[in-house]
Amino acid sequence: MKKVILLNGSPRVNGNTNYLLEECKKSIEENGVDAEIVQLAGKNVHSCIECLKCAELKRCVFNDDGINDIIEKLKTADGFIIGAPVYYGTARGDIMSAIQRIGYVSARSGLNYLQHKVGGPITVGRRGGHTATIQEMLMFYFINEMIVPGSNYWNIAFGREIGAVQEDKEGIETIKRFGRNVAQLINKLKD
């Protein structure tokens, strides 16, 4: 079964980012692809220290924060979607620490498990910084030879308090359409 991993970079497991990822997951599943949301919440995520140990270990040297478990899931997945809240006009720090390590292990180990995976970033914030956040996360996708389909708007939504994003109907529709496009592309590419 084809599968997409959706990584929630919010510390709030039931927050707005997770709501969007749940909607995206449903849309992916409706289009015949399996999907699983993985949480960063509760993990004390290390940042990359460029020790280059990943070249020999084929995993990250930090083995106590769950990032290696995510890497293992990614090795067999067909898609990878990252969701993160906007913090000070950028993606929340932990998600960038996580994807920098995920990307470096992929490249330096020679395993290149990210290559040709389908996916893209999703972000939610109260008021501003969404497009800069999307662009920041896109850098990870393109340098890792990943394939990013669009939607009929950028993958952004608005809300502050937990649950507030549910009122952003257009944002939710954009994310659902993105999920559909991810699944349809995977179905075409991996048949």
Ligand X SMILES: Cc1cc2nc3c(=O)[nH]c(=O)nc-3n(C[C@H](O)[C@H](O)[C@H](O)COP(=O)(O)O)c2cc1C
Site residues (CB under 6 A) for ligand X? 10, 12, 15-17, 85-89, 124-129, 159-160, 162
Nearest distance in Å: CB 143, ligand X: 25
Nearest distance in Å: CB 164, ligand X: 7
Alpha helix stretches (DSSP H) within 38-168: 54-57, 67-76, 93-108, 130-143
Complex with ligand X: residue 5 or 124, whichever CB lies closer: 124
Give me the residue label for tokens 């990614």: 74
Buried residues in 7-26 as b, exposed as e (16+ CB within 10 A): bbbbeeeebbbbbbbbbbbe
Complex with ligand X: residue 63 or 131, whichever CB lies closer: 131
Nearest distance in Å: CB 75, ligand X: 27
Q: Residue 58 in contact with residue 26, Cβ under 8 Å?
A: no
What DSSP element (H or E) covers 118? strand 118-125
Nearest distance in Å: CB 163, ligand X: 9
Complex with ligand X: residue 104 or 153, whichever CB lies closer: 153
